[in-house]
Amino acid sequence: MYLTKKESDRLLVFVAAELARRRRADGLRLNLPEARAIIADAIHEGARQGKSVSELMAFGRTILNAEEVQSGVTSLLQMLMVEPMFPDGQKLVCVHDPVGSPQQAEEEEMPGCYRLAQEGIEINVGRATAQVVVRNMGDRPIQIGSHFHFFEVNPELDFNRIAAFGFRLDIPAGTTIRFEPGDERTVDLVAFGGERRVEGLNSLTDGDLDDPEVKRRAVARAAAEGFKGVQYG
């Protein structure tokens, strides 16, 4: 058989739809790919039989209902777009809410959704904290991530680096603080948790934060490499 890409895709839809029909006949609720396939296949066949675009848009909503699909499918499948071949060429058929409106399934939760608590979340409870005044002495913006060892941040940031040894920004994980050129601000820091070991970054520490010799070497490296703020210690 010599098939075009479109013809191969049509056969793939049919195979997936046939599997979905068998599972539905066995009393199984369909997942998202199965629901899409069975509706798309019916629309393709409807176009082949001479139905119009408007007829297929309405027909696509009658093939499945919410009781025949798994939890979450109704919320995920809010629109299905199919491009079947009509006697006068290929056209786009858009079916909105093909297995019912999400509002019809009040107890249904979309997969991956969040259940948010009413109260706020307090982070970094019980850890040592510190504050330092930071000034960007460079000519470019500097952005620092939440878990970067603050002692090792960009050498153009001027602050009491020794006071920041073993600390990071006291902000939610994955967030950042940006310092524009000339900016000066006070930032809150929090002590590292876990094993309290820092490797890499600017290679100033490379060891245990609670080891006095590691700290001494880190301060010496920072001074030798021109990191601003070491003198404040």
Residue 164 confidence (pLDDT)? 97
Q: How far apart are CA 47 and CA 180, in angstroms?
A: 60
In the chain the domains, ranked by start, together with CATH numbers, are: 5-103 (3.30.280.10), 129-232 (2.10.150.10)
Question: What pLDDT, in 10s, does the model give residues 5-21?
Answer: 989 999 999 999 999 99
Question: What pLDDT, in 10s, does the model give residues 152-207?
Answer: 999 999 999 999 999 999 999 989 999 999 999 999 999 999 999 999 999 999 99
Burial track 59-76 (b if 16+ CB lie within 10 A, e otherwise): bbbebbebebbbebbbbb
Query: Radius of gyration of the chain from Cα atoms?
Result: 30
- Banded model confidence at residue 123, pLDDT cuts 50, 70, 90: confident
Please name which of 138, 116, 124, 120 lies closest in space to residue 173, comparing C-alpha atoms: 124
Residue 31 confidence (pLDDT)? 96
Question: What pLDDT, in 10s, does the model give residues 104-120?
Answer: 554 556 667 777 788 88
Please name which of 32, 38, 31 lies closest in space to residue 59, comparing C-alpha atoms: 38
Tokens for 187, please give them.
């930032």
| Type of residue at 42 | A
What is the rounded average pLDDT for all residues in the chain? Answer: 92
Tokens for 113, please give them.
């959704």
Tokens for 63, please give them.
């093939």
Q: Residue 142 to residues 56, 136, 153, 158, 169: CA-CA distances in angstroms?
A: 56, 8, 9, 12, 14
Q: Which helix (H) or strand (E) holds 225?
A: none
What average pLDDT does the segment 65-88 reach? 91
